[in-house]
Amino acid sequence: MNIENYLHDAVKGCIESLYGALENEQIQIQKTRKEFEGDYTLVVFPFLKRSRKAPDATANEIGEALVKACADVKGFNVIKGFLNISFTENFWAERFAEMTADDNFGYAPANSGRTIMVEYSSPNTNKPLHLGHIRNNLLGWSVAEILRANGHKVLKVNLVNDRGIHICKSMLAWKLYGNGETPASSGMKGDHLVGKYYVEFDKHYKEQIKELMAQGQSEDDAKKNAPLMLQAQEMLRKWEAKDEEVYTLWQTMNGWVYEGFDATYKALGVAFDKIYYESQTYLLGKELVEEGLQKGVFYRRPDNSVWIDLTGDGLDEKLLLRSDGTSVYMTQDLGTALRRFSDNNLDALIYVVGNEQNYHFQVLKLVLKKLGYDWSDAIYHLSYGMVELPEGKMKSREGTVVDADDLIDNMVATAREMSQELGKLDGLTEQEVDEVCHTVGLGALKYFILKVDPKKTMLFDPRESIDFNGNTGPFIQYTHARIRSIIRKADEAGVKYDDISGAEYLPEEIELIKYMADFAGVVRQAGDTYSPSVIANYVYDLAKMFNGYYHDHSVLREENEKVRAMRIVLCRQVAVIISRGMKLLGIDVPERM
């Protein structure tokens, strides 16, 4: 049952019986604030013209009619024109029975009719994935799962930025300084090896800039005239011309990177339905540029570069093709967007990209609109804040990033260390210890990142994320394991809990049921706002509420058989919702710890 819809219909019937058929008046129902008594609150101000009474008098009149008309409503109270409505214990017992009987509770049927594409990861093939990519991947994967749980058809895609000047920098540095080094000969993962040469390029490039500046060139001129940069630009031109030597080197080094990426994605637990490559879409973007020139949307400058003037829209002039004919990010994004909408009949396309690209996506939508593609309105940039460390920001070129592979390994090692200190691994086999430490380490990482609103910049502290007390993944995972232990003990003791009809509930148990009944609404809210943090913090609050309840009340030692059975089922349902919520975050919950 959708409780708010049910209450809406009941309230509407009462209001119309009192004041006549409603026309434009809005029935506004919301959860009652924690400081007031009640389950749901009706805002009565829209009905004052009809009642011709003061707000409190109108609220009392509607409340009395509702109690008479609806057996599920046990009472009400009025606070300054707000009608707080309370349901009966039996009503909540029925909701509890519904949720325990529904194997898909909280998730919508897969029939919304909407197809949504979520692009995330979008790495460059010149370096390994780092902590910033981790936030991107976890956020994109989770948003896609949440949208799927809301009944939409979801396509998870990755756009690999496998061409461009940054790729040529790594290729050139390897060619000049690599001495034929390979992943096999070096023992390095392929993406790490290529990233090493991206850093190597930057080191030599900076040395050349200093030399040219010492010879009297300005910094800007030195950056343009440095031999390494000129060689990288020439390599890019050769790549676009399909020069055999350059193209073969590009294929080889990208192959090393893809093997490395795949290993990281597997360790992180993310995947894609389709992978696009910039090298396969930038030419389509060039065709769109030609189309824009013919339509007069774009213009060509004397140096042969192509631009669009967006100053009339409050923006600036945007480059679409360089003077040498090579494309830029905007070129390929135009082509990729067109291909995606034409191939998949999308209702929405969500780009999960950091907030430093806000302007880029503002321009992308506007350019597509000016080209006549109205579906550009269905593009949404899920802009997220950067991940920072206690010691400051990361810089790829200088090799000061937190490598994703190293971070994953460190999280698992830290989980093992802290779990051993707390005795969480006692009695487990070595295989079980490995599984638990991997589950806890990855869960800590994912939860710590996803519990933060995507728009906010966040500070990542690995050790804090594995704290077994507080708003962390391990706290929630341990709560789930504790509940599963209760269920195992009940089963081993032969305790029957298949019939809970007629059981009496304590107020704390009703509160737990009420909170679990919110789960479907929380999943909807997370889908509407593209925010996994909504689910993360809900699951934490549920785990915290359960631990408080379990601290004060016995489950297996309860003497009343009906009450004991109800409490076992209550515990089991808390574990089910914790598991379903954490699954939407990409987090596994262990059966034992």
- Of the three residues 370, 388, 406, the one that is the final residue of a domain is 388
> CA–CA separation, 589 vs 583, rounded Å?
8
Looking at residue 392, its pLDDT comes to 52
pLDDT in tens, 299-354: 999 999 999 999 999 999 999 998 988 888 898 899 899 999 989 999 999 999 99
Looking at residue 363, its pLDDT comes to 96
Residues 200 and 80 in one domain: no
Q: Which residues of 184-219 are buried (b: 16+ CB within 10 A; e: fewer)?
A: eeeebbbbbbbbbbbbbbbebbeebbeebeeeebee
Looking at residue 376, its pLDDT comes to 96
- Of the three residues 388, 403, 429, the one that is the final residue of a domain is 388
CATH of the domain at 310: 3.40.50.620
Residues 327 and 421 in one domain: no
Residues 76 and 128 in one domain: no
Residues 148 and 255 in one domain: yes
Residues 300 and 370 in one domain: yes
CATH of the domain at 450: 1.10.730.10
Residues 379 and 420 in one domain: no
Instruction: Judge whether 198 lies within some domain.
Output: yes
Cβ proximity of 382 and 353 under 8 Å: yes
Looking at residue 391, its pLDDT comes to 64
Instruction: Judge whether 114 lies within some domain.
Output: no
Looking at residue 188, its pLDDT comes to 95
Number of domains in the chain: 3
Cite the beta strand spans of 10-167 per DSSP E.
28-31, 40-43, 73-79, 82-87, 115-119, 153-160
Instruction: Judge whether 108 lies within some domain.
Output: no
Instruction: Judge whether 101 lies within some domain.
Output: no
Structural domain for 372, as ranges: 120-388
Residues 256 and 133 in one domain: yes
Residues 340 and 446 in one domain: no
pLDDT < 50 stretches in the chain: 394-399
> CA–CA separation, 352 vs 136, rounded Å?
7
Residues 149 and 265 in one domain: yes
Residues 336 and 215 in one domain: yes
By CB atoms closer than 10 A (0-12, 13-18, 19+), residue 27 is middle
pLDDT in tens, 254-265: 999 999 999 999
Cβ proximity of 331 and 286 under 8 Å: yes
Instruction: Judge whether 140 lies within some domain.
Output: yes
Residues 263 and 191 in one domain: yes
Looking at residue 163, its pLDDT comes to 87
| Cα distances (angstroms) measured from residue 412 to each of 12, 317, 446, 449, 482 | 55, 48, 12, 16, 21
- Of the three residues 64, 87, 110, the one that is the final residue of a domain is 87
Looking at residue 152, its pLDDT comes to 97
- CA-CA-CA-CA torsion for 423, 424, 426, 427, nearest 10 degrees? 160
- In the numeric block, which tokens belong to residue 384? 């997220």
Looking at residue 400, its pLDDT comes to 52
Residues 340 and 457 in one domain: no
Instruction: Judge whether 173 lies within some domain.
Output: yes
